[in-house]
Copies of this chain bind each other. A is one copy, B any other.
Amino acid sequence: MAGNGRETPGLKVEIAETEGVRTQVRVGEVVFGAEALAVIAGPCAMESEEQYLEAAVAVAQAGGRCLRAAAFKPRTSPYSFQGLEREGLRLARMARQVTGLPVVTEVLDTRLVEEVAEAVDCLQIGARNMQNYELLKEVALSGRPVLLKRGLSATIEEWLLAAEYLFAGGNDQVILCERGIRTFETATRNTLDLNAVPVLRERTHLPVIVDPSHGTGRRSLVVPMARAAVAAGADGLIVEVHPDPDRALSDGFQSLSPQGFRDLMQAIEPVARAVGRSL
């Protein structure tokens, strides 16, 4: 039997299964997969109460619909800042209360799924954990909607099979997120694979959003690629916003300032309309 899982007919995530009906996923009051685009924003990492609340308020004021609350950080080096962890969950709750926006948080460890699920509105599976099947199984049981990022070198087939783990575990509230793949090109941090957006719209009934921050790795590329994502048919975006990007503890070079985020929201609005969507 092949180990690569290809040629698996009849997946629950496939649009054939729903006879063409698209799934809408509700995170708090926000609907992913509706006519209106859903934009998630927030800093790459929570760093302090002050930093996080400032970012959260800026996101809310500029029209962001959902907060990114990165309490736990999977860092390539053990010596890099690892996040505020549980303290971050407290800040996530506080930010939700202050802004009224729902909160998305990445979860890294099967043992913490329940605790994180209680604190936030949506669980994120990061790129590095897309094939961490034990985590997928546990998150499936959490009852929370899930934002499933594409793995760094995952094929679309493998990505859909990771989503299928959530469905197989009884959770059909799944949002897919294209965040760039690893290629030979070094001019950008990753290669944003926007082809994936229409490919997924043909094959799956799940909403698809795009992360132009990780997908490019450079602040100046975020607006044009956010526009491109919307034009390609994405149902929303996830963007890194930091009150003071140049002092960010991680990924500052790809984070927008609050003003930059306001500019982005203005820049995508006419493109959304041009393709029959709204903000």
Contacts and interface: CB of A to CB of B under 8 A. Distances in A.
A264 interface: no
Residue among A110, A231, A248 with the highest chain B CB neighbour number at 10 A: A231
A170 to B, nearest CB: 11
A231 B227 contact: yes
Given A232-B224, A271-B231, A3 B181 contact: no
A230 interface: yes
Interface string A140-163: 000000000000110111100100
B192 A194 contact: yes
A192 to B, nearest CB: 5
Which range contains the number of A residues in contact with the other chain?
A: 35 or more
Interface stretch (A15-23, A76-84, A97-105, A115-123): A76-84
**How many copies of this chain does the complex contain?**
4
Interface in A100-142: 108-111, 128-129, 131-135
A188 interface: yes
Interface stretch (A26-34, A35-43, A53-61, A249-257): A249-257
Contacts of A182: 153, 184
7 contacts: A3-B80, A5-B76, A78-B133, A78-B161, A185-B193, A197-B224, A228-B231
Interface of A: 1-5, 8, 44, 74-81, 108-111, 128-129, 131-135, 152-153, 155-158, 161, 164-165, 168-169, 181-189, 191-199, 201-202, 215-216, 220-221, 224-225, 227-233, 248-253, 270-271, 273-275
